[in-house]
Chains A and B, each alone.
Chain A
Amino acid sequence: MSDAAPAISQEERDELRRHGILLTSLEELYNWGRSHSVWPLNFGLACCAIEMIAASMARYDIARFGSEVFRPSPRQADLLIVSGTVTKKMAPQVVRLWNQMPEPKYCIAMGACAISGGPFKQGYNVLKGIDRFIPVDIYIPGCPPRPEALLHGLVQLQAKISGQAITGPDAPRHLRSDIECDCPVPEFGAHDLEPPQNPAVWTPPPSLVRPDKA
């Protein structure tokens, strides 16, 4: 619970667990609880949504990981799976859904379109990645990703949740008061969305701008 090193290491704790002695911390218990019942929003955008549906059905069975409860209301959802192409006309609605979800909430960008615009990125009507407007936790590449890839992304998200410290500067958004959780909803402009991106969430990564190609 404190910033100091734990009195007992994870290996020692696992060893004790094998002998039937359960030692835990509030942080571990809290993260274990919330990482294994991540309820996704029942929200599909394009062909990736078909794979998301397949992952939720009998063959791939996302219920094994505690995420089978697809909620039809953002008020009850923990996870926004952006499954497909986000057009510029749809982007304000996606951001609005994100703002309507209560904290703690997580976002998975599923597939090439949600990550970067994918094969349609040169189109006049396609947003080049939903991470320009809302913070994305897990990126799942693929066109579309197979259901196994979505399950892997979900397991990665669970690992991310389990690793979060619930105090200190790395605490998740819902345990802090110093950051703004709402993302501004872009307006329809005369030529593009206004603003075209949320600078609080997204700026071009400088390491990817290659001066040798300038």
Chain B
Amino acid sequence: METVEQLRDRLLARFPGASVTVISNPSPSAQHSLLLDHAHAREIALYLRDEPALKFDQCSNVTGIDWPEKEITETTKVTVPDPAGGPPKVVAQTTKRREPGYLEVVYHLYSLALRQGPIILRLRTGNRADAVAVPSLTPVWRSCEFQEREVFDLFGVTFEGHPDLRRILMWDGFKDHPMRRDYAEPDDYEWEPTPHGDVLAKAKKHYPEKPAAEPAKEAKP
């Protein structure tokens, strides 16, 4: 099978205006993935499915990732010339920048015809609040339908072009997205017979207040 880099070059040659980026995976699994732009995602998916040399005819898994906003601290060493004429000093400069959060949808593709795979595609939303749309790949792989509904339900990503985008696990009037990292669950920890860890911290809010400490007895002579 082609490597991810070869596949990226093939896609860039086929779709000149597209943006295809390799996201490398530094873990031992080394499952590198391809980040696609929204405008060409559907065409690229169709090409991956239908091109005789690729034939990725099965989408086995669709999942979501929540990347919250994070603060990145970078330390760079800068050489500062000494105004007094001495040797230049090396000063460490720390800069902080905020990386905005976004939601990510991950597709795992296999080729049953050519027995190869997986190829991993990623789509990213603009942010986590109002620009949460990505193009749906359900018209390309029918197996995405329920899994994209699940990502919509649990992460709040909306899929443009999905034939039936409704919640699938939670009820329709539910407002939250439980798999987001900032999800606040309902506080129903009022009865925890054997609390420990996180549950203990949540159960403590329901414990009765300690009785006021008795006044200290005078020391006996």
- Which residues from chain A sit less than 8 Å from chain B, CB to CB? 89, 122, 124-125, 128, 188-192, 196-197, 204-205, 208-211, 213-214
Q: Are B191 and A208 in contact (CB under 8 A)?
A: yes
Residues 184-217 of B, flagged 1 when their CB comes within 8 A of A and 0 if not, give 0110101111010011100010111111000000
- Interface of chain B, main secondary structure: loop
Q: When A122-B199, A128-B188 are in contact, do A188 and B173 touch as well, CB less than 8 Å?
A: yes
A204:B204 contact, CB within 8 angstroms: no
Given contacts A192-B186, A196-B186, contact A213 B207 (CB under 8 A): yes
Contacts of B199 in A (CB 8 A): 122
| Alpha-carbon gap, A196 to B172, bound state (A) | 17
B175 neighbours in A (Cβ, 8 Å): 190-191
Interface string of B153-185 (1 = CB under 8 A from A): 000000000000000011111111010000101
Q: Is the CB of B188 within 8 A of A192?
A: yes
Asked whether, in the complex, the Cβ of A89 is within 8 Å of the Cβ of B188, the reply is no
Q: Which residue of B lies closest to A124 (CB)?
A: B178
Q: Are the C-beta atoms of B191 and A205 separated by less than 8 Å?
A: yes
Count A-B pairs with CB separation below 8 Å: 57
What 8 A-B pairs come out closest when comparing CB atoms?
Answer: A214-B207, A192-B186, A124-B178, A204-B191, A188-B171, A190-B175, A204-B190, A188-B173
Q: Are A124 and B188 in contact (CB under 8 A)?
A: no
Residues of A close to B206: CB separation below 8 A: 204, 209
Evaluate contact between B186 and A89: CB separation under 8 angstroms: no
Q: Which residue of B lies closest to A205 (CB)?
A: B191
A196 and B185 alpha carbons, distance in the complex (Å): 13
- CB <8 Å contact, A89 and B171: yes
Min CB distance B121 to A, Å, is 28
In angstroms, Cα B176 to Cα A192, docked, is 10
B195: which A residues are within 8 A, CB to CB?
A: 213
Chain A positions within 8 Å of B173 at CB level: 188-190
On whether A188 and B208 interact (CB within 8 A), knowing A128-B188, A204-B190, the answer reads no
A-B contact pairs, 14 of them (CB 8 A): A89-B170, A89-B171, A125-B169, A128-B188, A188-B171, A188-B174, A190-B174, A190-B176, A192-B186, A196-B186, A205-B191, A209-B207, A211-B208, A213-B204
Most buried by B among A128, A191, A208, A211: A191
- CB distance B188 to A214 under 8 Å? no
Chain A residue numbers with a CB within 8 Å of B209 are: 214
A19 to B192, CA, bound (A): 53
Q: Which residues of B contact A211 (CB under 8 A)?
A: 207-208, 210-211
Add 20 more A-B contacts to A190-B175, A191-B186, A213-B204 (CB < 8 A): A89-B171, A124-B176, A128-B191, A188-B173, A188-B174, A189-B173, A190-B174, A190-B176, A191-B175, A196-B188, A197-B188, A204-B190, A204-B206, A205-B191, A208-B191, A210-B207, A211-B207, A211-B211, A214-B204, A214-B208
Contacts of A190 in B (CB 8 A): 173-176
Q: How close is A203's CB to chain B, nearest CB, in angstroms?
A: 9
